């Protein structure tokens, strides 16, 4: 076991390719834990950001500024009574959230956090992701059916129809990004062959193609890449049943959605699956169009100094978050009732600042006295940080959309999916292909 | 799409206990407890898939017998009861009732009282429209305007509280004028409010008016034509959005509205979007009226010479005002004693709600919620 | 403000009939204008208002005349009266004239908006109910009332075919007074529950009265009255 542990340490491929099960397990556990923490953080951020959009404060009492609110929610949901409708199909009722969860979490096998930081770099990575995430539809339909009540059934059918429709547009947008991986030409419109080879479906390969072509696919063949990205961005909101496409689960509509009859832990599994799916499709968007783990401006601002400056970002971010926490501590009311919260927030800020200092130490250490392990750690940190940062931007955008826009009526939603998104994405695909051929 | 020939006929609905044999039609109940029905309103929908074939409203859950109570209270004792009908625009209710009794007594409120009445009533119109906007947007899915409008409405409620002690059911007026003199700083508060709220209305419009999703959800939804609206007795912004330029403040002015310069916004299509635009513009026109009024409050008494015991002569009177929701009318029959013989309240929301059936024929289920919101009903007024 | 404590029973209508038909005598009620004149400092056994002192100068119904009124007076003769009280005009018509008269008002005189339909109950009168339609014309900017009197148990033709708004308004009159409207498509209770017995706005329905049977069956409680 120990050699299996040690033998991977110097490797430059993913554990899947290195055939190292131990490290694959470790990566899986890290990702599982990470996504769970991310879901909780997303829950907190949603409540706080939505509240601030609406001129109110959000949770403030459970932990300083509501930081412990997700934990309180999780505990509450866990200790709730497990209610199963009397006439429901018990097995299907039990398994539906598990299938949703399965679909949402399995895709993380191929999400790349770095050039070798993925559980396994399948050569059909993107296809795998799209395929497995579609399984969520099955979970939704099973939930609606098993509830044995016609409101959840109608909601589930609507939800599944919506998800299926937008997958078509999503898939076509993805294909135009894949097309660009086969170009091998540098710059915005370059198709001149820098190297041989074909395009690739592997997630790591896509990011490496962007690295080689020195441009994010967002800007490639401007505005084609942009349009494809926008199509995907809209379709992914509809995939995950979020505003403005959240009619199937909105409270003020007649049918309250497929998860009406679920309560407690089962319902929290659906929520977990929904947030995990949001993060997963955002990862696809980041990987395909935003350059994945690559730091901004790797070619314009290149060189060791710029590398160093950009490598400072993770540490500085944590220090910045710690500073915000300290600012919050200073602004807490000076009253006996708030003492615990003030101390808690200060401790939280201290932890964040310590992490930031630690990261900075690694980076500065790597610069001052280069050492193989330090260099690789810095690089790995940097990759993971930039990837997570880009995904976090998408998460914030999700919340922003929810706060700002009303929701589409179901028939308008379907019309947008089939009559607007599909033709545009098809058009972009064809034009991308033509341009690629013409310029080359 | 809308089969208007069945506009007023019975729906031919089975009661929910009897089974329905036609498998194409589904009868769904939007029960009295529902986040979107603005009160205890039950709407029975007959659906064909998602399309609405017909509706039936069941009301009366909030019926408190206000008209019966009126026969057992004196005129002044009944004054606080009228606030509780349309509890969102309580000041308007009070204005209508006090003016009706004043007409019966053949007295006129003094000019200063009229100015105060106009200012408070128009403030209440803005507050009522703000509440409408917040809840209507929330029903359609935009959850942020609700908080913005409630935050801005607080300023109006603060003025009311300073003036008469109550925020919502204000009992602001008395028969013959106003009871309370304006508090020190009233004009300043009102003027500050005017400068405060004008950009806020712009904020709401920025969020919604040109928003593509809002347009799709509200354009051509719940259309009612002008002649249909008149035949159904619909009044208020709903009527004006259908193209009929009629406002009691201009047609049959009461208080001293004829002294103020303001416009009546109308719409063209009679759909939900037009009603939204009409109400937004009405808020702006109310600001105009308040500005003119607050700049010219005359000195003088605030209460006319009204006897301590109010005993109007035998007779009957009908008086109506333009409440935020429509034509609010009071038909009072006096028999010469201190208690009215009959008080009939003509509630705008009750009559407007009748139009729901006509407006949602052929629409989808999600539109029913939007149309109920756009009619701006308050169940307290519908049921009394 | 001094309020007289009142018993729950409403006061009986004054002696003078409310039909302002022939006499223009002000009914012997106190007018609003000079209340002081009435408060004579005599002991409780004050004599009934003497006819001799100044007739109180209160408002009285005056005859209303206009081209429209003349036209219908010609047409209907004695079945129709027109008066004006405090500036508000109203017709008092015979019950048999009702559906045609209302239709004529809508079609010929452009009273296209039916503001309200309501009723008043005078239990001491022979024809106990007053049914009142309040109509408004956009073109003339004029509001009138049409009143008719019916006995208990009589019905009135429905105005639903003339104005669509009459649907719920008539249902409410039926619900509160028990007046049936013939020709109404769906005359059932609107504000009270379907099985309720009794018509609350009638004067013989006490203010604290409830349909105890309905309460017991549907709410499962003793209504405690």
For the segment B238-281, what is each residue's pLDDT rounded down to a tens digit? 999 998 999 999 999 988 899 999 999 999 988 999 999 999 99
Give me the phi and psi of C211, to 5 degrees please: -80, 90
pLDDT band at C171 (very low <50, low <70, confident <90, very high): very high
DSSP-derived pairing of the beta strands C142-150 and C88-93: parallel
Identify all chain A residues contacting B362, using CB atoms and an 8 Å cutoff. none
Provide CATH 1.10.645.10 ranges for chain B: 72-351
Give me the phi and psi of A72, to 5 degrees please: -60, -40
* Six token digits for residue C102: 């209302």
In chain A, pLDDT over 70 holds for what percent of residues? 96
Name chain C's partners: 3 or more CB pairs within 8 A: B
Calculate mean pLDDT across residues A299-307. Answer: 82
Could you tell me if residue A277 is inside a domain? yes
Nearest to B217 among A50, A250, A406 (CB): A406
Cis peptide bond prior to A223, omega within 30° of 0: yes
Could you tell me if residue A151 is inside a domain? yes
* Six token digits for residue C55: 């007739």
Instruction: Round to whole Å and give the CA distance between B181 and B183.
Output: 6
B16 in contact with chain C, both atoms CB, cutoff 8 A: no
Q: Give pTM, 2 decimals.
A: 0.84
Confidence at residue B325, expressed as pLDDT on a 0 to 100 scale:
93
Q: Show Cβ contacts of residue C41 under 8 Å, excluding neighbours closer than 6 positions.
A: none
Calculate mean pLDDT across residues B7-24. Answer: 45
Contact A164, A138 (CB under 8 A): no
Measured at the alpha carbon of residue A387, what is the angle toward residues A382 and A388, in degrees to the nearest 5? 100
Instruction: Round to whole Å and give the CA distance between B73 and A423.
Output: 69
Half-sphere CA count of C23, side-chain side, radius 13 A = 8
Calculate mean pLDDT across residues A98-120. Answer: 89
Q: Show Cβ contacts of residue C77 under 8 Å, excluding neighbours closer than 6 positions.
A: none
Q: What is the pLDDT of residues A318-333, one digit of tens each?
A: 999 999 999 988 888 8
Could you tell me if residue A146 is inside a domain? yes
Q: What is the pLDDT of residues B106-163, one digit of tens each?
A: 899 999 999 999 999 999 999 999 999 999 998 888 889 999 999 999 999 999 999 9
Contact C85, C61 (CB under 8 A): yes
CATH fold group of domain B72-351: Cytochrome-c3 Hydrogenase; chain B (1.10.645)
pLDDT over threshold 80, residue B303: yes
Question: What is the C-alpha radius of gyration for chain A, rounded to an integer number of angstroms?
Answer: 23
Identify all chain B residues contacting C31, using CB atoms and an 8 Å cutoff. 313
Contact B340, B333 (CB under 8 A): yes
- pLDDT averaged over chain A? 87
Instruction: Round to whole Å and give the CA distance between B366 and B140.
Output: 8
Q: What DSSP string describes C116-130?
A: EEEEEE-TTSSS-EE
Could you tell me if residue A241 is inside a domain? yes
Nearest to A243 among B141, B217, B365 (CB): B141
Confidence at residue B23, expressed as pLDDT on a 0 to 100 scale:
61
In chain C, pLDDT over 90 holds for what percent of residues? 18
DSSP-derived pairing of the beta strands C129-137 and C142-150: antiparallel
Could you tell me if residue A214 is inside a domain? yes
Structural domain boundaries, residue A147: 15-294+385-439
B87 in contact with chain C, both atoms CB, cutoff 8 A: no
* Six token digits for residue A142: 């099973």
Identify all chain B residues contacting C140, using CB atoms and an 8 Å cutoff. none
Identify all chain B residues contacting C16, using CB atoms and an 8 Å cutoff. 314
- Minimum distance, in Å, between the CA of residue A52 and any CA atom of chain B: 10
Helix A136-146 with A90-106: angle, nearest 10 deg? 160
Give, for C92, the enclosing helix (H) or strand (E): strand C88-93
Instruction: Round to whole Å and give the CA distance between C133 and C152.
Output: 18
pLDDT band at B33 (very low <50, low <70, confident <90, very high): confident
Name which residue leads in pLDDT, C11 or C60: C60
Q: DSSP letter at B36? A: T
Could you tell me if residue A318 is inside a domain? no
Please count the residues of chain C.
225
Is residue B345 classed as helix, strand or coil in its secondary structure? strand
Measured at the alpha carbon of residue B107, what is the angle toward residues B106 and B113, in degrees to the nearest 5? 150
Q: What DSSP string describes A225-294?
A: HHHHHHHHHHHHHHHTT-TTS-GGG-TTSSS--TTTT--HHHHHHHHHHHHHHHHHHHHHHHHHHS-TTP
Contact A19, A123 (CB under 8 A): no
Q: Show Cβ contacts of residue C120 under 8 Å, excluding neighbours closer than 6 positions.
A: B316, B333, B341, B342, C129, C130, C132
Q: DSSP letter at A403? A: H
Interface contact flag, C164 B232, Cβ < 8 Å: yes
Q: DSSP letter at A409? A: P
Instruction: Round to whole Å and give the CA distance between A248 and A410.
Output: 8
Handedness of CA B220, B226, B230, B235 (dihedral sign): positive
pLDDT over threshold 90, residue A233: yes
**Of A152-161, B53-62, C40-49, minimum mean pLDDT range:** C40-49
Phi-psi category of B168—alpha, beta or left, where left has phi over 0 and alpha has psi -120 to 50? Answer: alpha
pLDDT band at A379 (very low <50, low <70, confident <90, very high): confident
C112 in contact with chain B, both atoms CB, cutoff 8 A: yes
Q: Report the candidate in A160, A54, A102 with the shortest Cα–Cα distance to residue A413.
A: A160
Domain count, chain A: 1
- pLDDT averaged over chain B? 87
Confidence at residue A332, expressed as pLDDT on a 0 to 100 scale:
86
Could you tell me if residue A348 is inside a domain? no
Contact B298, B112 (CB under 8 A): yes
Could you tell me if residue A301 is inside a domain? no
Give me the phi and psi of B313, to 5 degrees please: -70, 165
B203 in contact with chain C, both atoms CB, cutoff 8 A: no
Interface contact flag, B50 A411, Cβ < 8 Å: yes
- Minimum distance, in Å, between the CA of residue A404 and any CA atom of chain B: 6
Instruction: Round to whole Å and give the CA distance between B82 and B59.
Output: 19
Identify all chain B residues contacting C165, using CB atoms and an 8 Å cutoff. 231-234, 351, 354
Instruction: Round to whole Å and give the CA distance between B352 and A75.
Output: 48
């Amino acid at each position: 076991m120990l050699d299996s542990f040690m033998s991977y340490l110097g490797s430059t491929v993913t554990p899947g390719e290195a055939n190292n099960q131990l490290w694959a397990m470790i990566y899986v556990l890290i990702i599982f834990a990470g996504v769970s923490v991310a879901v909780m953080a997303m829950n907190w951020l949603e409540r706080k950001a939505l509240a601030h959009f609406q001129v109110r404060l959000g949770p403030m009492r459970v932990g300083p500024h509501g930081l412990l609110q997700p934990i309180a929610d999780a505990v509450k949901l866990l200790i709730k009574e497990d209610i199963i409708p009397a006439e429901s199909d018990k097995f299907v009722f039990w398994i539906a959230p598990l299938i949703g969860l399965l679909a949402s979490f399995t895709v993380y096998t191929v999400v790349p956090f770095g050039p070798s930081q993925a559980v396994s770099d399948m050569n059909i990575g993107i296809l795998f992701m799209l395929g497995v995430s579609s399984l969520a539809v099955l979970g939704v339909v099973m939930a609606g059916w098993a509830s044995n009540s016609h409101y959840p059934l109608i909601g589930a059918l609507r939800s599944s129809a919506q998800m299926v429709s937008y997958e078509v547009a999503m898939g076509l947008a993805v294909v135009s990004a894949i097309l660009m991986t086969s170009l091998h030409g540098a710059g915005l419109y370059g198709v001149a062959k820098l190297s041989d080879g074909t395009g690739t479906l592997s997630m790591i390969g896509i990011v490496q193609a962007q690295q080689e072509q020195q441009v994010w696919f967002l800007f490639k063949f401007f505005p084609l890449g942009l349009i494809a990205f926008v199509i995907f961005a809209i379709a992914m909101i509809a995939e995950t049943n979020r505003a403005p496409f959240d009619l199937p689960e909105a409270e003020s509509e007649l049918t309250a959605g497929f998860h009406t009859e679920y309560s407690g832990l089962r319902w929290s599994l659906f929520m977990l699956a929904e947030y995990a799916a949001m993060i997963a499709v955002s990862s696809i968007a980041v990987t395909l169009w935003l350059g994945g783990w690559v730091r901004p401006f790797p070619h314009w601002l290149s060189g060791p100094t710029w590398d160093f400056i950009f490598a400072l970002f993770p540490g500085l971010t944590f220090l910045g978050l710690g500073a915000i926490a300290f600012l919050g501590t200073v602004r807490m009311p000076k009253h006996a009732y708030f003492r615990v919260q003030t101390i808690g927030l200060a401790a939280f800020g201290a932890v964040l600042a310590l992490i930031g200092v630690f990261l900075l130490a690694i980076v500065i250490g790597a610069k001052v006295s280069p050492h193989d392990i330090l260099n690789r750690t810095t690089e790995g940190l940097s990759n993971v940080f930039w990837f997570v940062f880009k995904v976090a931007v998408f998460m914030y955008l999700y919340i922003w959309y929810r706060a700002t826009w009303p929701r589409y009526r179901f028939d308008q939603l379907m019309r947008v999916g089939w009559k607007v998104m599909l033709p545009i994405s098809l058009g972009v695909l064809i034009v991308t292909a033509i341009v690629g051929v013409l310029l080359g | 799409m809308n089969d208007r020939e069945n506009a007023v006929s019975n729906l031919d609905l089975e009661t929910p206990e009897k089974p329905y044999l036609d498998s194409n039609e589904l009868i769904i109940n939007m029960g009295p407890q529902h986040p979107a029905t603005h009160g205890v309103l039950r709407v029975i929908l007959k659906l064909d898939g998602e399309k609405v074939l017909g509706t039936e409203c069941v009301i009366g859950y909030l019926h408190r017998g206000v008209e019966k109570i009126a026969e057992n209270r004196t005129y002044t004792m009944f004054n606080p009861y009228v606030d509780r009908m349309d509890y969102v625009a309580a000041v308007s209710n009070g204005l209508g009732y006090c003016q009706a009794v004043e007409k019966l007594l053949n007295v006129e409120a003094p000019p200063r009282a009229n100015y105060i009445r106009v200012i408070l009533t128009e403030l209440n119109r803005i507050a009522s429209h703000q509440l409408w906007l917040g809840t209507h947007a929330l029903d359609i899915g935009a959850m942020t305007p609700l908080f913005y409008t409630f935050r801005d409405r607080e300023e109006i409620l603060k003025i009311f509280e300073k003036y008469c002690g109550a925020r919502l059911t204000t009992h602001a007026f008395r028969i013959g004028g106003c009871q309370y003199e304006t508090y020190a700083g009233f004009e300043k508060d009102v003027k500050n409010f005017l400068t405060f709220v004008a950009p806020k209305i712009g904020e709401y419009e920025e969020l919604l008016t040109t928003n593509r999703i809002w347009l799709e959800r509200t354009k051509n939804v719940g259309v009612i034509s002008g002649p249909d609206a008149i035949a159904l007795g619909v009044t208020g912004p709903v009527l004006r959005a259908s193209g009929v330029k009629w406002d009691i403040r201009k047609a049959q002015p009461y208080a001293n509205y004829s002294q103020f310069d303001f416009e009546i916004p109308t719409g063209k299509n009679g759909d939900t979007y037009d009603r939204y635009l009409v109400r937004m513009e009405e808020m702006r026109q109310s600001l105009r009226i308040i500005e003119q009024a607050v700049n010219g409050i005359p000195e003088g008494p605030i209460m006319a010479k009204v006897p301590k015991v109010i005993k109007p002569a035998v007779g009957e009177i009908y008086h109506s005002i333009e409440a935020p929701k429509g034509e609010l009318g009071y038909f009072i029959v006096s028999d010469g004693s201190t208690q009215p013989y009959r008080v009939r309240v003509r509630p705008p929301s009750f009559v407007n709600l009748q139009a729901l059936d006509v407006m949602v024929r052929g629409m989808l289920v999600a539109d029913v919620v939007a149309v109920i919101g756009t009619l701006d009903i308050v169940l307290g007024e519908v049921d009394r | 403000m001094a309020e007289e404590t009142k018993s729950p029973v409403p006061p009986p209508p004054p002696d003078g009939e409310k039909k302002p038909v022939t006499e223009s005598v002000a009914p012997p009620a106190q007018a609003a204008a000079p209340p002081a004149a009435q408060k004579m400092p005599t002991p409780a056994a004050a004599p009934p208002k003497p006819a001799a002192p100044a007739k109180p100068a209160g408002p009285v119904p005056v005859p209303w005349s206009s081209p429209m009124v003349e036209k219908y007076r010609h047409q209907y003769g004695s079945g129709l009266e027109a008066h004006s009280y405090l500036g508000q005009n109203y017709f008092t018509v015979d019950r048999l004239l009702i559906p045609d008269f209302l239709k004529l008002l809508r079609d010929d005189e452009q009273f296209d908006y039916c503001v309200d339909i309501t009723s008043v109950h005078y239990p001491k009168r022979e024809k106990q109910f007053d049914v009142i339609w309040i109509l408004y014309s956009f073109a003339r900017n004029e509001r009138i009332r049409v009143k008719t009197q019916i006995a208990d148990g009589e019905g009135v033709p429905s105005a639903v075919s003339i104005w669509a708004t009459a649907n719920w308004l008539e249902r409410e009159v039926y619900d509160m007074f028990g007046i049936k409207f013939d020709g109404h498509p769906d005359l059932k209770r609107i504000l009270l529950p379907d099985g309720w017995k009794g018509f609350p706005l009638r004067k013989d329905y006490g203010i604290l009265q409830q349909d105890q049977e309905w309460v017991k069956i549907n709410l499962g409680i003793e209504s405690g009255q």
